[in-house]
A = this chain, B = another copy of it.
Amino acid sequence: MKNLPIGFIDSGFGGLTVARQSLRQLPNESIIYFGDSARVPYGPRPLEEVKEYIWQMTNFLLAKGIKMLVIACNTGTAAALKEVREALSIPVIGVIHPGSRAAIKQTHNRRIGVIATEGTIKSQVYKQALLEKVENLTVYSMACPEFVTIVEENRVGDFETQGIVNERLKPFVDNGVDALILGCTHFPIMRGAIQEAVGESIQLIDSGVETINEVSTLLDYFGLSRTANDAKQFPSTQVFYTTGEVNHFAKVAKNWLHKETIEVIQCEVKGNVLIETNHSEP
């Protein structure tokens, strides 16, 4: 059981920032990733539809064999975490609570900021998760959908970008927050620009980093962790599936994960199941 991979599911590329943290913090673990790029973004879709897609990816990975499932997508976590966790016999983790817990751990002045997509901010999942734990917090939330576009269009290093980010995040500086949750899995890609905009006195909370910390906690708790010795006997592996265009997916994944080669397998939706159709060039 412990030699099985950890499964990651996401609407597209975003969850790769969570997978990247798995490679960094848990190098002995194998991973298997599903990015539903053909149906991205999930944000504007009805909750029931998102839940259905999350179940399709979950069933696909369960059939491959996984020891733990990470819903590496804020919208997917909000829509389906509770239901999937209750239904599965393996541990299931989402990205919202780890970020919330880390912000509570870090804040000294109890003023916490959250940036995310419009859907996540409207759903107030972060605000609820935070206030359920500690009532006397002040939570400032802001949708920054243009940040997703900047990342997707590979404009993070552009001349104009820093100005846009500075302008957008100024209210958090003015309101004196001391912890800012990056509540969208795309945002760690532009972490440098965000830190530059808010200054060193605001601690950035990367949901991906914190999610993998919790993955590690639960793997240890359930005796499912692989040690360095295990990895010598059975080397760790990484496999990626997408409903999108495999070569484009491979290009982004290599870039974000700092890898020379990556195995990406093409999938399609048939009725309400996902099936494998093709492999990418290595």
Interface residues of A (CB under 8 A from B): 25-28, 91, 97-98, 101-102, 104-105, 131-135, 209, 212-214, 216-218, 220-221, 225, 227-228, 231
Interface of A is mostly: helix
The answer to whether B105 and A25 have CB atoms under 8 Å apart is: yes
Q: A101 with B217: in contact, given A27-B134, A134-B25 (CB under 8 Å)?
A: yes
The answer to whether A97 and B220 have CB atoms under 8 Å apart is: yes
User: Which residues of the partner chain B approach A134 to less than 8 Å between Cβ atoms?
Assistant: 25, 27-28, 228
For A93, give the chain B residue with the smallest CB separation: B221
The answer to whether A218 and B216 have CB atoms under 8 Å apart is: no
For A231, give the chain B residue with the smallest CB separation: B135
User: Which residues of the partner chain B approach A213 to less than 8 Å between Cβ atoms?
Assistant: 101-102, 105, 213
Rounded to whole angstroms, the CA-CA distance of A28 and B137 in the bound complex is 13
User: Which residues of the partner chain B approach A91 to less than 8 Å between Cβ atoms?
Assistant: 221
Q: A209 with B101: in contact, given A217-B217, A228-B132 (CB under 8 Å)?
A: no
Number of copies of this protein chain within its complex:
2
User: Which residues of the partner chain B approach A27 to less than 8 Å between Cβ atoms?
Assistant: 134-135
Checking B28, B133, B135, B216 against A101 with a beta-carbon cut-off of 8 angstroms, the contacting residue is B216
The answer to whether B227 and A28 have CB atoms under 8 Å apart is: no
The answer to whether B218 and A28 have CB atoms under 8 Å apart is: no
Rounded to whole angstroms, the CA-CA distance of A134 and B227 in the bound complex is 8
User: Which residues of the partner chain B approach A105 to less than 8 Å between Cβ atoms?
Assistant: 25, 209, 212-213
Rounded to whole angstroms, the CA-CA distance of A212 and B106 in the bound complex is 12
Q: A133 with B28: in contact, given A105-B213, A209-B105 (CB under 8 Å)?
A: yes
A-B contact list, 12 entries, CB within 8 Å: A26-B133, A28-B133, A104-B216, A132-B225, A132-B227, A133-B216, A133-B227, A133-B228, A135-B231, A214-B217, A217-B218, A218-B218
The answer to whether A104 and B217 have CB atoms under 8 Å apart is: no
User: Which residues of the partner chain B approach A133 to less than 8 Å between Cβ atoms?
Assistant: 25-26, 28, 216, 225, 227-228
Checking B102, B135, B221 against A218 with a beta-carbon cut-off of 8 angstroms, the contacting residue is B221
Rounded to whole angstroms, the CA-CA distance of A135 and B25 in the bound complex is 11
For A27, give the chain B residue with the smallest CB separation: B134
User: Which residues of the partner chain B approach A104 to less than 8 Å between Cβ atoms?
Assistant: 25, 216
If A25-B133, A133-B216 are given as contacts, then 19 extra A-B residue pairs at C-beta distance below 8 Å, sorted by A number, are A25-B105, A26-B133, A27-B135, A28-B134, A28-B135, A97-B217, A97-B220, A98-B217, A101-B213, A101-B216, A104-B216, A131-B228, A132-B225, A133-B225, A133-B227, A134-B228, A135-B228, A213-B213, A218-B221
